[in-house]
Amino acid sequence: MPSFDVVCELNWAEVANALIQAQKELNQRYDFRGTEAEIEKTDAGIVISASSEDRCRAALDVFHDKLVKRKVAFSYFEAEEPKPGAKSIIKILLKVKEGLDREKAKEIVLLVKDSKLKAQASIQEDMVRITGKKKDDLQEVIQLLRSSDLKVELQYKNFRD
Protein backbone atom coordinates (compact mmCIF):
# COMPACT_ATOMS: atom_id res chain seq x y z
CA MET A 1 0.00 0.00 0.00
CA PRO A 2 1.35 3.44 -0.84
CA SER A 3 2.10 5.70 2.11
CA PHE A 4 3.88 8.89 3.11
CA ASP A 5 4.73 10.76 6.30
CA VAL A 6 3.59 14.25 7.27
CA VAL A 7 6.30 15.94 9.34
CA CYS A 8 7.28 19.38 10.58
CA GLU A 9 11.07 19.59 10.30
CA LEU A 10 13.38 22.55 10.21
CA ASN A 11 16.13 22.66 7.59
CA TRP A 12 19.09 23.22 9.92
CA ALA A 13 21.58 23.73 7.10
CA GLU A 14 19.62 26.74 5.85
CA VAL A 15 19.27 28.07 9.41
CA ALA A 16 23.04 27.79 9.89
CA ASN A 17 23.60 29.68 6.63
CA ALA A 18 21.13 32.37 7.70
CA LEU A 19 22.92 32.67 11.06
CA ILE A 20 26.28 33.17 9.35
CA GLN A 21 24.89 35.73 6.91
CA ALA A 22 23.08 37.64 9.67
CA GLN A 23 26.21 37.75 11.84
CA LYS A 24 28.25 39.05 8.89
CA GLU A 25 25.70 41.77 8.26
CA LEU A 26 25.68 42.76 11.93
CA ASN A 27 29.47 43.07 11.85
CA GLN A 28 29.43 45.21 8.68
CA ARG A 29 26.51 47.57 9.22
CA TYR A 30 27.25 51.02 10.57
CA ASP A 31 24.19 51.17 12.84
CA PHE A 32 25.38 48.05 14.72
CA ARG A 33 28.90 49.36 15.44
CA GLY A 34 29.64 49.38 19.15
CA THR A 35 26.39 47.63 20.08
CA GLU A 36 27.99 44.19 20.59
CA ALA A 37 25.16 42.66 18.52
CA GLU A 38 25.53 38.92 18.20
CA ILE A 39 23.51 35.92 17.03
CA GLU A 40 24.44 32.42 18.14
CA LYS A 41 22.92 28.94 18.31
CA THR A 42 22.75 27.33 21.74
CA ASP A 43 21.12 24.25 23.24
CA ALA A 44 18.11 26.33 24.32
CA GLY A 45 17.62 27.81 20.84
CA ILE A 46 19.01 30.86 19.09
CA VAL A 47 20.18 33.75 21.25
CA ILE A 48 20.27 37.29 19.90
CA SER A 49 22.10 39.80 22.10
CA ALA A 50 22.95 43.49 21.87
CA SER A 51 23.65 46.45 24.14
CA SER A 52 20.10 47.86 23.89
CA GLU A 53 16.63 46.46 23.34
CA ASP A 54 16.02 48.28 20.05
CA ARG A 55 19.36 47.01 18.60
CA CYS A 56 18.43 43.51 19.77
CA ARG A 57 15.09 43.73 17.96
CA ALA A 58 16.84 45.14 14.88
CA ALA A 59 19.22 42.15 14.93
CA LEU A 60 16.18 39.89 15.16
CA ASP A 61 14.78 41.59 12.04
CA VAL A 62 18.08 41.02 10.21
CA PHE A 63 17.96 37.32 11.13
CA HIS A 64 14.31 37.14 10.05
CA ASP A 65 15.20 38.65 6.65
CA LYS A 66 17.99 36.12 6.14
CA LEU A 67 15.60 33.27 6.97
CA VAL A 68 13.05 34.57 4.47
CA LYS A 69 15.69 34.76 1.73
CA ARG A 70 16.58 31.13 2.44
CA LYS A 71 12.89 30.11 2.38
CA VAL A 72 12.76 29.08 6.05
CA ALA A 73 9.49 30.01 7.74
CA PHE A 74 9.80 32.12 10.89
CA SER A 75 6.89 30.15 12.36
CA TYR A 76 9.44 27.51 13.46
CA PHE A 77 10.71 30.03 16.04
CA GLU A 78 9.04 31.50 19.10
CA ALA A 79 10.63 34.71 20.34
CA GLU A 80 10.65 35.39 24.06
CA GLU A 81 10.60 38.83 25.62
CA PRO A 82 13.96 40.63 25.82
CA LYS A 83 15.77 39.94 29.09
CA PRO A 84 18.75 41.75 30.61
CA GLY A 85 21.96 39.77 30.83
CA ALA A 86 25.46 40.32 32.16
CA LYS A 87 27.30 43.60 31.42
CA SER A 88 24.04 45.39 30.54
CA ILE A 89 23.47 43.18 27.50
CA ILE A 90 19.89 42.52 26.38
CA LYS A 91 19.10 39.02 25.08
CA ILE A 92 16.22 37.55 23.09
CA LEU A 93 15.86 33.78 23.02
CA LEU A 94 14.28 32.19 19.95
CA LYS A 95 12.94 28.77 20.91
CA VAL A 96 12.73 26.26 18.09
CA LYS A 97 9.38 24.55 17.51
CA GLU A 98 10.08 21.39 15.56
CA GLY A 99 7.96 18.28 15.12
CA LEU A 100 4.21 17.90 15.21
CA ASP A 101 2.73 18.21 18.68
CA ARG A 102 -0.05 15.83 19.70
CA GLU A 103 -2.86 18.35 19.12
CA LYS A 104 -1.80 19.19 15.54
CA ALA A 105 -1.36 15.50 14.74
CA LYS A 106 -4.89 14.77 15.99
CA GLU A 107 -6.17 17.71 13.93
CA ILE A 108 -4.54 16.27 10.79
CA VAL A 109 -6.00 12.80 11.47
CA LEU A 110 -9.50 14.28 11.95
CA LEU A 111 -9.13 16.37 8.80
CA VAL A 112 -8.27 13.26 6.74
CA LYS A 113 -11.10 11.24 8.28
CA ASP A 114 -13.68 13.99 7.80
CA SER A 115 -12.70 14.48 4.16
CA LYS A 116 -14.09 11.03 3.25
CA LEU A 117 -11.02 10.33 1.11
CA LYS A 118 -9.91 6.73 0.78
CA ALA A 119 -6.90 7.13 3.04
CA GLN A 120 -6.07 6.37 6.65
CA ALA A 121 -4.01 8.53 8.99
CA SER A 122 -2.16 7.34 12.07
CA ILE A 123 -0.04 9.21 14.58
CA GLN A 124 3.52 7.91 15.00
CA GLU A 125 5.56 9.87 17.56
CA ASP A 126 6.06 13.35 16.03
CA MET A 127 4.70 12.57 12.56
CA VAL A 128 1.52 11.36 10.90
CA ARG A 129 1.60 8.43 8.45
CA ILE A 130 -0.98 8.50 5.66
CA THR A 131 -1.76 5.25 3.82
CA GLY A 132 -4.09 4.56 0.93
CA LYS A 133 -4.74 2.07 -1.85
CA LYS A 134 -3.78 4.41 -4.72
CA LYS A 135 -1.23 7.15 -5.20
CA ASP A 136 -4.00 9.44 -6.43
CA ASP A 137 -5.76 9.19 -3.06
CA LEU A 138 -2.55 10.22 -1.30
CA GLN A 139 -2.07 13.15 -3.65
CA GLU A 140 -5.59 14.31 -2.82
CA VAL A 141 -4.69 14.17 0.88
CA ILE A 142 -1.61 16.31 0.23
CA GLN A 143 -3.77 18.86 -1.60
CA LEU A 144 -6.26 18.82 1.27
CA LEU A 145 -3.51 19.45 3.85
CA ARG A 146 -1.99 22.25 1.77
CA SER A 147 -5.35 23.99 1.39
CA SER A 148 -6.22 23.72 5.09
CA ASP A 149 -5.14 26.38 7.56
CA LEU A 150 -3.22 24.40 10.19
CA LYS A 151 -0.74 27.20 11.08
CA VAL A 152 2.12 24.69 10.86
CA GLU A 153 4.74 24.23 8.14
CA LEU A 154 4.31 20.68 6.83
CA GLN A 155 6.61 18.53 4.74
CA TYR A 156 5.70 15.27 3.04
CA LYS A 157 8.40 12.60 3.20
CA ASN A 158 9.02 8.89 2.65
CA PHE A 159 6.53 8.49 -0.19
CA ARG A 160 6.41 4.73 -0.79
CA ASP A 161 4.63 2.69 -3.42
- One domain, residues 104 and 89: no
Q: Is the pLDDT of residue 49 over 90?
A: yes
Residue 88 near residue 35, CB atoms below 8 Å: no
For the chain, what is the domain count?
2
- One domain, residues 80 and 109: no
**End residue of a domain, out of 77, 96, 115:** 96
Query: What is the percentage of the chain residues whose pLDDT exceeds 90?
Result: 37
Q: Is the pLDDT of residue 153 over 90?
A: no
Q: Is the pLDDT of residue 68 over 90?
A: yes
Model confidence pLDDT, tens digit, residues 102-130:
888 899 999 989 888 888 989 988 889 99
DSSP output for the chain: --EEEEE----HHHHHHHHHHHHHHHHH-GGGTTTT-EEEE-SSSEEEEESSHHHHHHHHHHHHHHHHHTT--GGGEEEPPPEE-GGG-EEEEEEE--S--HHHHHHHHHHHHHTT-SEEEEEETTEEEEEESSHHHHHHHHHHHHHS--SS--EEEEEE-
- One domain, residues 120 and 92: no
Q: Which domain holds residue 89?
A: 12-96
- One domain, residues 67 and 104: no
Alpha-carbon distance 117 to 138, whole Å? 9
Say what the pLDDT of residue 20 is: 95
Taking Cα atoms as reference points, which of 155, 112, 161, 158 lies closest to residue 136? 161
Model confidence pLDDT, tens digit, residues 76-110:
899 999 999 888 899 999 999 888 888 888 999 99
Local confidence band at 50 (pLDDT 50, 70, 90 cut-offs): very high
- Tell me what the pLDDT averaged over the chain comes to: 90
CATH, residue 105: 3.30.70.860
Say what the pLDDT of residue 60 is: 93
Residue 16 near residue 66, CB atoms below 8 Å: no
